């Protein structure tokens, strides 16, 4: 395992054009940077607006990392945190992505704390549309490519709904799922409705 990690590190450095001198002389890091931004065991960090990763579906994580790396996400100038994530992701090799996904899978899912105030009852009706793909309990649906929503940081869901709505995310034709989500976000016509639907999502347990 250790030699595998070393191989990944060496490969990563070579690929990124940094393999200039003998690596042993240098204080090399691997690509496991995630927790600096995403918090202890990937539980999310509101302080730098980085969402919870722990418990995130591996297929969804892989798709998003690939999207960031390919420039399908984090390219709009208004997507401030997305830009930071994209700059990180462009450095990742396929092996690094595989390593990160395995690492994230080792973290225990813990539902994020509630930080927003909205009308969950009003949000319940709005959520009916979301439930078609994301499931009645916010558990997600891999077959439809829809990630779980339950337990995710509410401030992050609010930001992403706003980003989808404004076209900061899901604006590129190659990002089919994002485009679909962008369309659905239009049904939330104002900020209050966004807060309401996310407040309702806060009540869901995702079948856990």
Footprint on this chain of other proteins (rule: CB under 8 A): 16, 18, 20-21, 25-29, 33, 35-41, 43-48, 50, 77, 80, 83-84, 87-91
Tokens standing for 174? 């190659």
Nearer to other proteins by Cβ, of 25 and 190: the residue is 25
Task: For the CB of residue 50, give the shortest distance to other proteins in the complex, in Å.
Answer: 7
Nearer to other proteins by Cβ, of 41 and 57: the residue is 41
Tokens standing for 94? 């396929």
DSSP 10: H
Tokens standing for 43? 């539980």
Task: For the CB of residue 66, give the shortest distance to other proteins in the complex, in Å.
Answer: 16
Q: Concatenate the DSSP letters of all residues of 9-22 into one string.
A: HHHHHHHTT---S-
Longest CA pairwise span in the chain (Å): 61
The 10 Å Cβ neighbour count of residue 6 is: 13
Task: For the CB of residue 87, give the shortest distance to other proteins in the complex, in Å.
Answer: 4
Task: For the CB of residue 80, give the shortest distance to other proteins in the complex, in Å.
Answer: 8
Nearer to other proteins by Cβ, of 38 and 169: the residue is 38
Nearer to other proteins by Cβ, of 83 and 101: the residue is 83
Nearer to other proteins by Cβ, of 103 and 124: the residue is 103
Nearer to other proteins by Cβ, of 35 and 203: the residue is 35
Residue 147 phi, psi (nearest 5): -75, 160
Contact (Cβ atoms closer than 8 angstroms) between residue 37 and residue 50: yes
Task: For the CB of residue 135, give the shortest distance to other proteins in the complex, in Å.
Answer: 27
Task: For the CB of residue 33, give the shortest distance to other proteins in the complex, in Å.
Answer: 5
Angle formed at CA 50 by CA 148 and CA 198, multiple of 5 degrees = 45
Contact (Cβ atoms closer than 8 angstroms) between residue 65 and residue 34: no
């Amino acid at each position: 395992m250790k030699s595998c990690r070393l191989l990944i590190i060496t490969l990563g450095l070579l690929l990124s054009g940094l393999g200039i001198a003998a690596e042993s002389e240098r204080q090399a890091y691997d690509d496991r940077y995630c927790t600096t931004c995403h918090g202890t065991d990937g539980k999310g960090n509101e302080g730098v607006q980085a969402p919870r990763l722990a418990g995130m579906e591996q297929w969804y994580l892989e798709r998003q990392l690939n999207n960031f790396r390919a420039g399908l996400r984090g390219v709009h100038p208004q997507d401030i945190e997305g830009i930071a994530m994209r700059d990180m992701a462009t450095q990742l090799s396929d092996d690094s992505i595989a390593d990160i996904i395995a690492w994230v899978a080792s973290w225990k899912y813990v539902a994020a704390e509630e930080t927003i105030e909205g009308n969950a009852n009003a949000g319940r009706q709005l959520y009916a549309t979301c439930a078609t793909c994301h499931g009645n309990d916010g558990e997600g649906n891999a077959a439809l490519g829809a990630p779980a929503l339950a337990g995710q940081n509410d401030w992050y869901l609010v930001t992403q709904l706003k980003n989808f709505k404004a076209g900061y995310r899901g604006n590129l034709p190659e990002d089919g799922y994002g485009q679909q989500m962008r369309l659905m976000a239009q049904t939330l016509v104002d900020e209050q409705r966004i807060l309401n639907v996310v407040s309702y999502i806060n009540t869901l347990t995702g079948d856990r």
